[in-house]
Structure 1
Amino acid sequence: MTDTTEADFDPYMTAIISNRIDGIIREMTNTLLRAARSGVINGARDFSCSICTGDNRLLASAEGLPIHIFGSHMQTQAMCDFAGDELAEGDCYLHNDPYSGNTHAGDHTYLVPVFIDGEHLFTAVAKAHQADIGNALPTTYMAGAKDQYAEGALIFPAVRIQRNHEMVEDVVRMCRSRIRVPDQWYGDFLAGIGAARIAERRLKELCAKYGKEQIKAFVRHWFAYSEQRMIQAIRALPRVTLTNSGAHDPFGDLLPEGIPLKVTIDIDPEKALIELDLTDNGDNVECGFNESEACTSASTITGIFNALDSSVPRNYGSFSRIRLKLRDGCVAGRPKFPHSCSVATTNVADRLVNIVQSAFAELGEGWGLAEGGLGMGAGCAVVSGKDHRADNAAYVNQLFLANAGGPGSPSADGWITYGLPVAAGLMYRDSVEIDELKHPIAIRFLRLMEGTGGAGKFRGAPAMEVAYGPKEQPMDVIWPCDGTVYPPKGVRGGGDGFRCRHWKVGANGQEEELPNIAVLKIRKDEYVRGNQAGGGGYGNPLERDPRRVLSDVIERYETLERANDIYGVVFSGSDPDTMGIDEAATARRRAELRRAAA
């Protein structure tokens, strides 16, 4: 355990410098957001920035996506291991290898070691999801890939791309020759490097202002403070072992029952430790749903932090109170090469977040969360083709048009803008108008679906539905959806969220329901229609404040039928402008529903 009794601890200076470092990360974030070229980065904000110490401990991440940043230290460790004594001022490394610390091949990470007076004191980390990485199909989510070779991606295990601040052009030429949209990729490449270099500059200025020894003392104090906050949070929990399970959807004949998942959480408040055991999960599967070690770690740790005091800092200090038990060759553990981890950042990872955070609801009222909505379906598909407006130039982009619904919690309804469990509401939703400007795509509608959030004392957020198709040339559409068979679960009496569904609509209006994993071509006058999942509900719906139910019906989050049949709320009148709650009829209806459920 870190020593927290140092005489030189200065809480004011620790707070000042920690906020300054968060400010540096936000400047990195703004640089990448403003400078990147692909929509998945500058529109959806599918990227994260963080800073690690020179000895490879996560120091800070500000607003980084949980799935991205909780494994940053694994990548900086890989950089140090591969570079060894050659690591030098002016270096920058590109890393996307899921077998040496990265999430999946689709996330390109830029690592810049920061030297202060010749000492490697920090590493700046900028990670961005790519529109294309040279896969065999125009997507970075290869659900059907048997192994990493079948994916076809260019893999960079901490490869040096700058030396003495000069570009290694050989790497650039390799990527340009393989990636379908080389100019778009190169813009993102420069933006990622620029974000990391901004951090390098600002960290040097910070050290010049306060002195290297003061900054070293801050790092020591910040980790000690963070660990102490985590100790306090764990000691507020009971001594208990929680076990929870779930499953990823089936995938054709390959995974007819899906992927069963299980986690055991041992909470020891006396030792102030939480142990997560994932060893009782199946072996690696022959497709792209295997978790990398970084994603297994990040998703389960995310689930823990979602259930604890939200003010506990997320860094090495607090992580040190969590123990992970993983198994080699496991679908939710450490993968065995060359199994594909192409979809590691979403599907199974989303399930692990949900399983862990909902397990804490077993502690009693006020603990844990329901399962959040999921589903990388039509609203999050990768679309590609030829743009008739630009001399049939190639385009590739991942859409983030439709969000899944957030989970109900002990004190609030689910967020509409939740996105996915692994992103926790930190990504942006695409602008319809900008997507149509950037790509030859016509978006027919984007809307919330009434009555699709899991009912509860605090309900899950509703599902979102979208429909779109190409304007002229055929468009390839690829998605690796989950949640079409096993929807997000409610907890403590809350209802499940709405499951995902998708259709291809022909030029004649005929609809064909699509499987959860889709690789299809859409022609002019055809379109796809589909929805993400709604979030699970928390608590008994009959305990929901009737005024909230009235508001939900007026705002069209809920239907009149569900208000009566599930929530037991009866209204006077049917006009939204004059509708009110019939309190006597509501009391009778709720008593009737309670008797029926007994």
Structure 2
Amino acid sequence: MNPTHATANRVDPVTASVIRGALENIAIEMGYKLMRMSYSSIIRESEDFGAAIIDAHGNQLCESIQSTPLQSGPLPGYVRGIMKQMEERGDTIEPGDVILHNDPYGGASHGPDVGFVVPVFHQDQLVGFAVTAAHHLDIGALSPGSCGIVDAMDAYAEGLQFKAIKVYQRGVKIEPVWQMLRDNIRTSKLVVGDMEAQVAACRIGAQRYVELIERYGLETVQHAYADLLDYSERLMRNAIAELPDGDYTATTYLDGYLDDPDPAKKHLPLTVTLKIRGSDMTVDLTGTSKQIDDKPINMPLEGTVDIAIWLTIRSILLDSDVYGHIPQNSGLTRPIHLVVPKGTLANPIFPAPTIARFCPGNQLADTVMKALSQVVPDKVSAGIGNLRVIAFSGLNNETHWVHMEIFEGAYGGRHGIDGMDAIDTLYANTRNNPIEDLESHLPLRINRYELRTDACAAGQWRGGLGSIREFTYLEDGGASIEGEGHAYKPWGFGGGADGDTASLTLRKADGSECAMPSKMPYEAANKGDTFIVVGPAGGGYGDPQKRDPERVLADVLDGFVRMDEAREQYGVSIREDMTIDWATTEALRSRAD
């Protein structure tokens, strides 16, 4: 049974609701089990993983609430990629199998996001898959780590590739595959331990799904989730149908490789046109830059591009503050159609490298937001401050250590709400790593972690602030960096000011400093060297002259806005005793009008 068309309810609403809750709890349990069994902070603390139940046709039924969208969203693509690979090889899926997959041209998000899939059988019938994906701290690439790799010449330079590889067959562990993992990954105990945790979490999910089927019957469960997919589709169709038909286009730019002499590798456009017709929306990326054949900022169409688009549309049109809990499943994507020319950054041709697709994908999501601002201005935020990933690493005797740190961006202001400060944006809702956890496990010291006070985009609702962090090496090591937003400011909306760019500085142990580009291949660092990481600030929303003067005063008291900026940008006069001069403020704003 392949539920692909909306129909009348097949199961009574109470039973369907109970089954929906049970499915969601299965995914949540998988997520918590994975977190508790994992070895690395990227899973345990940052929660950079996904867990879901997928039906036998590749439809997502539920996902773990702890998941980041960039991990949970691609999981149906992992399953479809696996089924396609196995069909082409003439292989079969059997009870007791566990399948390993990370092919970015076969549904996976990128190579380090490794998926493990356990097929679920009921009375010898394949009824679905329990799936987890998680980011791993090393995948055997050119340099240590699995993010920050920005100089891979092709897909083969990005690390190990697994295309539907069985690591268990009919319940028997395939030891040579596991040994290959241990032999080719720098931090093998950590990574293989996380992989084994993924397998265990999938098996728990498979067991719970079978128990659900045995309790209610296969047909009832299938009909219940068919209704669930149809319900999610109706929600999205109704939201699209409320929008005016038309074409809405927006363009933003990637830094690319700012220090590269080749102009084709920097200042790269991302163009999005939303074509709304009734309850259907086509997202056309014609006009986006051509792919870069030998640099890994290309984005997999399935696993990154589609997720960036779907997540942004869903979060804007079906805001959970308005709609409450919305079932996360494949029904939400049915009314949204993608047109993405091949050979572009958003639909590269193999073997173009893709491992550094994280920041470009987030910028694509921001471009979708910018296009939506023409249709639903009261629901979008102004431009976001993009994120950055640094892979810190070192070698202690013969043992590597690797740490991946995701540095926050900031949201732009939105109607009625100031932009959120120092937060992972759009499709990357991972948490930060506690300083105490980091310093207790790694030869790094965090000297500074605070909000910026030099960049607050003016608006009726101000832009969010980026953060500043300083990392000092306590022993020799190195780092590689993947980032964006050094050349282009986050866009302001409706009269709001543009945000501010990011920066990165390497301060050597001798006190000398060097400004670094947004993308830096692996560079050695000595004991005492410090990375100073300044995050971008989001754009402002609306006319600053309309901002509540009391809010302006609060920003001055917090150190986010200077008194002269309050006067010049907001038309608010603040006395030396830190009170508002209302008469002068009214005069300033009258002149501005």
Counterparts of 1:569 and 1:18 in 2: how far apart (Å)?
52
Which residue among 67, 78, 81 is the counterpart of 1:78?
81
Counterparts of 2:199 and 2:567 in 1: how far apart (Å)?
56
Cα 1:168–1:250, aligned 2, differ >3 Å: closer, same or farther?
Answer: same
Q: Is the 8 A contact 1:245 1:262 kept in 2?
A: yes
* Residue 370 (structure 2) pairs with residue 352 (structure 1): no
Q: Which residue of 1 aligns with 2:342?
A: 328
Counterparts of 1:146 and 1:521 in 2: how far apart (Å)?
20
Counterparts of 1:211 and 1:256 in 2: how far apart (Å)?
56
Letter in 2 for 1:590: R
Letter in 1 for 2:254: H
* Residue 230 (structure 2) pairs with residue 224 (structure 1): yes
Which residue among 346, 350, 354 is the counterpart of 1:341?
354
* Runs (5+) with no aligned partner, structure 2: none
Counterparts of 1:165 and 1:586 in 2: how far apart (Å)?
74
Shift of 1:411: 3.0
* Runs (5+) with no aligned partner, structure 1: none
Q: Is the 8 A contact 1:139 1:382 kept in 2?
A: yes
Q: Which residue of 2 aligns with 1:274?
A: 281
Q: Which residue of 1 aligns with 2:309?
A: 300
Counterparts of 2:154 and 2:448 in 1: how far apart (Å)?
37
Q: Which residue of 2 aligns with 1:18?
A: 20
* Residue 468 (structure 2) pairs with residue 465 (structure 1): yes
Which residue among 211, 215, 220 is the counterpart of 2:217?
211
> Which runs of structure 2 are paired with 1:375-386 in the superposition (5 Å)?
375-376=387-388, 380-386=389-395
Counterparts of 1:35 and 1:117 in 2: how far apart (Å)?
30
Cα 1:138–1:420, aligned 2, differ >3 Å: closer, same or farther?
Answer: farther
> Which runs of structure 2 are paired with 1:471-550 in the superposition (5 Å)?
471-472=474-475, 474-518=476-520, 519-550=522-553
Shift of 1:30: 1.0
Q: Is the 8 A contact 1:451 1:462 kept in 2?
A: no
SS of structure 2 residue aligned to 1:194: helix
Letter in 2 for 1:449: R
Cα deviation digits, residues 334-382 of structure 1 (max 9, x gap): x2111001112x1210111000012111125413222221131xxx310
Which residue among 298, 306, 330 is the counterpart of 1:290?
298
Counterparts of 1:416 and 1:45 in 2: how far apart (Å)?
20
Q: Which residue of 1 aligns with 2:6?
A: 3
SS of structure 2 residue aligned to 1:338: coil
Cα 1:106–1:485, aligned 2, differ >3 Å: closer, same or farther?
Answer: same
Which residue among 33, 38, 41 is the counterpart of 1:39?
41
Shift of 1:256: 5.3
Structural RMSD (CA): 1.9
Counterparts of 1:314 and 1:323 in 2: how far apart (Å)?
18
Q: Is the 8 A contact 2:99 2:117 kept in 1?
A: yes
Cα 1:3–1:525, aligned 2, differ >3 Å: closer, same or farther?
Answer: closer
User: So what's the TM-score if we normalise by structure 1?
Assistant: 0.92
Shift of 1:282: 2.7
> Which runs of structure 2 are paired with 1:167-316 in the superposition (5 Å)?
167-251=173-257, 252-254=260-262, 255=264, 257-268=266-277, 270=278, 272-285=279-292, 286-294=294-302, 295-310=304-319, 311=323, 312-316=326-330
* Residue 135 (structure 2) pairs with residue 136 (structure 1): no
Cα deviation digits, residues 39-71 of structure 1 (max 9, x gap): 222121111112211111122224332222332
Letter in 1 for 2:280: L
Q: Is the 8 A contact 2:273 2:371 kept in 1?
A: no
User: So what's the TM-score if we normalise by structure 2?
Assistant: 0.93
SS of structure 1 residue aligned to 2:514: strand
Counterparts of 1:110 and 1:70 in 2: how far apart (Å)?
15
Counterparts of 1:95 and 1:428 in 2: how far apart (Å)?
25
Q: Which residue of 2 aligns with 1:421?
A: 426
Letter in 1 for 2:488: Y
Cα 1:61–1:493, aligned 2, differ >3 Å: closer, same or farther?
Answer: farther
Shift of 1:174: 0.6
Shift of 1:490: 1.8
Q: Which residue of 2 aligns with 1:28?
A: 30
For these two proteins, the number of residue pairs brought into alignment is: 574
Counterparts of 1:490 and 1:92 in 2: how far apart (Å)?
48
Cα deviation digits, residues 466-517 of structure 1 (max 9, x gap): 1112112x11111011100012212222222221111111223222111221
Shift of 1:451: 4.3
Q: Is the 8 A contact 2:422 2:466 kept in 1?
A: no
